[in-house]
Amino acid sequence: MNTSFDIWQTIRQEVQTAAAKEPLLASFLHLTVLQHENLARVLAFQLSSKLFSSTMDVRALYDVFLRVLENNPEITSSVEADIAACYERDPACEYYFLPLLYFKGFQAIQSHRINHALYLSGRKTLAYFLQNRASEVFGVDIHPAARFGHGIMFDHGTCIVIGETAVLGNDISLLHGVTLGGSGKKGGDRHPKIGDGVMIGANASVLGNIHIGKCAKIGAGSVVLHDVAPQTTVVGVPAKAVGLSKNIPANMMNQMIMVDNDENKQP
């Protein structure tokens, strides 16, 4: 992540420019971004506006979300890293403010970050309620106990499922339809552990308490049932190693299958 600038001030400047160019959205952009004094308040407003229901008051949710964010400043740091990840990896993300307002994969991640903090603080009933609401609203189902690092991007986000004991490291990219699930009915530690820099392609399933090594790449549609070594590309059902990567797959977002350490080769 580029930390040489203030990402919040950059977002404000982008939104001010957008409001000037599109008067029809000026009120919306003022309400959602410009009236707020920091990123935490924008995020609390955005998520509460999306996750409230007939049985959950929007203002009550806003207060809960803002309290969690203010009491856990590391969450806001992770949010900034996630925004930067979207901007740097997604060619459709032309501005830093886009994930914050419009990308449901990003919003699902931030909802989970708050849910996880609530879960750890003992407010499990509320965390489960919000997990359900996030699943309904964003189409992403993440158990509140799952642990996330920073710099995570869900590209599109639709139909991502992440189980209770899953662990995601830093700088990871998941495409739509990814499942990080268990295998069988056995309880306990039963979900995947995903290393830094990993990219998991669309509709891939990683099942069981297995480890995906740093900078590995999982091909689209693959079913992974065993550990994957670092910097290894696996594809297929069941997935098998087909090559190595010298780069960070999560950053490159290259869906081609590279072999023999040559990034120019295609399948």
Inform me whether the pLDDT recorded for 266 exceeds 50: no
Q: What is the mean pLDDT of residues 176-203?
A: 94
For 34-43, the pLDDT digits (tens) are: 999 999 999 9
pLDDT for residue 131: 97
**Fold topology of 9-139:** serine acetyltransferase, domain 1 (1.10.3130)
More confident residue, 68 or 4: 68
Residue 80 — pLDDT band, cuts 50, 70, 90?
A: very high
Please report, for the chain, the start and end positions of each structural domain, with discontinuous segments joined by +: 9-139, 159-267
pLDDT for residue 258: 60
For 229-239, the pLDDT digits (tens) are: 999 999 999 99
Inform me whether the pLDDT recorded for 62 exceeds 70: yes
Cα separation of 153 and 14, whole Å?
Answer: 21
Q: What is the mean pLDDT of residues 55-75?
A: 97
Q: What superfamily would CATH give domain 159-267?
A: Hexapeptide repeat proteins (2.160.10.10)
Strands of 232-235's sheet in order across:
153-155, 173-175, 199-200, 217-218, 232-235, 240-244
